[in-house]
Structure 1
Amino acid sequence: MRLPCALSLLVLVATPARAGAAYPAIPEPMIFDMMRPLCAAKGELEINALAQTVSPFRPRSAEWAPELEYAYADGHAIEFELPFDGARLAALKIGLQSSLGVSGDGRTAHGIQYLGIHDRDARHYSSSLLYLLGHRYSSRWSSMTMLGVDRISLDGGSGRNALLFNHAAFYDANADTVLGAELNMAGGADRSLKVSPQIHRRLSAAINVQIAAGFEKQRHEALRPTAGLRLVRQF
């Protein structure tokens, strides 16, 4: 599916966030990031960078990506990302996210997310579309679930229209610390499973640091440990 088709689908499906709706406060997953929370207000701006590696002793092999996220309207955000593989710029990425509404009791929110990635080596553009469901169970417990399709193609084909599933559970330990566990699953040719226990620590009103250590299993490869770090600056 080409970019114009995917963007048209997003516009058709996404509806404006209900004015004055009280969205639940739910942390963003660290590994499979969102483009601001579903409750984002117009004008919110964030820059962040995620670094991940399967070998803490080989930092040059780390994958990392600086991102810029901006809420251009209440409940609607756009993201620009530059994924690097070591020192090499591997891809160009754009994302769009829209809130679809909140439950009457204000505990459940849902939305939709579009991701477009241009692989610079393969010179190929791919699209993904996900449904987002967030729920606040109590003052301390919450979760975010993301379910969708990767490498969308109306013509099908090997590795196309593969399942994407991400689920993160969070526990608010205190006002500045969130503990979480994130599960990432991908189907298709790049079938993989990743589990990432993580901690989010707010250092100030505008700065947040997130650290994860877990494991991943990719198709035809052995289970291996992983580590990650995300630095966030809000404006």
Structure 2
Amino acid sequence: MKILISVVSLFLFLLIPSVSHSSSGGSFSNTPRLPEPMVFDLVLPLGAQKNEYELNALFQHDFANDAVTMNPEFEYAYADGYGIEFELPMETTGVAAYKMALQGTFDFLNTNQFIHGWQYIGEYHQDAKKFENNLLYIFGYQFNQNWSLLNMLGSRLSDIRSKGHIEGLVNSNLFYSLSKNLLMGLETNWEFRPNRPDMMLVMPQLHVQIAQHAKVQFGFGVRKASREYFPHVASRVIFGF
């Protein structure tokens, strides 16, 4: 119970700046607009403007479990730099979980090359009857017109009603812009799980802008699960407005 109270208190502390900032009519127009990772998705890019929204879906072929998954989601910026996301992780048997995320952009220390913020993710898994809380710090840097990076560091707390697990989360991305409509990326996801095998995904990817409001991302990588390595294929279709 103490852990749960701590998580909720920290979440409310992070949410307060978004309310005060939106009321002052601030903007993040002078900060970099960095690409988003394909697999570990953000709630819109950091610094998104109020009323931006996005519909997208992630498709994955998990060779480790011989399963195909789909994650449709809706993202909306309710204030400058702050957004909310609703997601339905799905498997072949139907909806596997219910997921909600909140994200904020800090309004201090930002420059025209550096931007940072936070993300909270709550997810309820139907089959296991467990709830997960994820809290991450996000920071990114625009080196020049072509090169940029985005990183996330955080933790996951699950099974808070019984024997809880705490996991470390790391997401690291390096992007290279080939042109206005074509981007290359290398995404690495690492889940550090004490007393259990770590999980890792390395995913080279391409982001292609196919129309003004439509983008397709796809990649082929390697996933480590239970001390074994498996191929992993993913694609995301995005409609942003």
Calculate the TM-score normalised by the size of structure 1. Answer: 0.89
CA distance in 1, matches of 2:150, 2:110: 18
Deviation of 1:118 (Å) = 0.3
Q: Which residue of 2 aligns with 1:197?
A: 204
The Cα of 1:9 is off from its aligned counterpart by 1.9
1:147 maps to 153
Report SS of the residue matched to 1:223.
strand
Tell me if structure 1 keeps the 8 A contact 2:140–2:151. Answer: yes
Greater mean alpha carbon deviation, residues 173-182 or residues 120-129: 120-129
Q: Does 1:65 align with 2:40?
A: no
Q: Match for residue 97 of structure 1?
A: 103
Task: Name the aligned partner's letter for residue 216 of structure 2.
Answer: V
Q: Deviations over 1:168-191 (max 9, x none)?
A: 000011000110000000022462
Mapped pair 1:52 → 2:60: yes
**Percent sequence identity over aligned pairs:** 32
2:217 to 207, 210, 214: 210
* CA distance in 1 between partners of 2:82 and 2:215 (Å): 22
Residue 33 of structure 1 corresponds to which residue in structure 2?
A: 41
Mapping of residues 1-235 of structure 1, within 5 Å: 1-2=3-4, 6-14=7-15, 15-16=17-18, 19-21=26-28, 22-55=30-63, 61-101=67-107, 103=109, 105-151=111-157, 160-188=165-193, 189=196, 191-220=198-227, 222-235=228-241
**Equivalent residues of 2:62, 2:69 under 8 A apart:** no
Q: CA RMSD in A?
A: 2.2
Q: Which runs of 5+ in 1 are unaligned?
A: none
1:203 and 1:94 map into 2 onto residues whose CA distance is 28
When residues 78 and 104 of structure 1 are mapped into structure 2, their CA distance, relative to the original with a 3 A threshold, is closer
Question: How far apart are residue 219 of structure 1 and its match?
Answer: 2.2
**Shift of residue 102 of structure 1?**
5.5
Structure 1 residues 19-61: Cα deviation after superposition (integer angstroms, max 9, x where no partner)? 2331202100001000001111111110100011134xx7xx2
Alpha carbons of 1:88 and 1:12: their partners in 2 closer, same or farther (altered >3 Å)?
same
1:120/1:190 CA distance change after superposition, 3 Å: farther
Q: Name the CA distance, whole Å, in 2 between partners of 1:104 and 1:44.
A: 21
Residue 110 of structure 2 contacts residue 116 of structure 2 at CA under 8 Å; is this kept in 1? no
State the distance in 2 between where 1:104 and 1:132 align: 12
**How far apart in 2 are the matches of 1:75 and 1:105?**
14
Question: Aligned partners of 2:108 and 2:217: how far apart in 1?
Answer: 27
How much has 1:11 moved relative to structure 2?
2.8
8 Å CA contact 1:146–1:166 kept in 2: the answer is yes
Structure 2 counterpart of 1:126, one-letter code? E
Give the alignment's TM-score, normalised by structure 2: 0.87
User: Contact 1:102 / 1:108 at 8 angstroms: preserved in 2?
Assistant: no
Q: Aligned equivalents of 1:198 and 1:163: distance in 2? A: 24
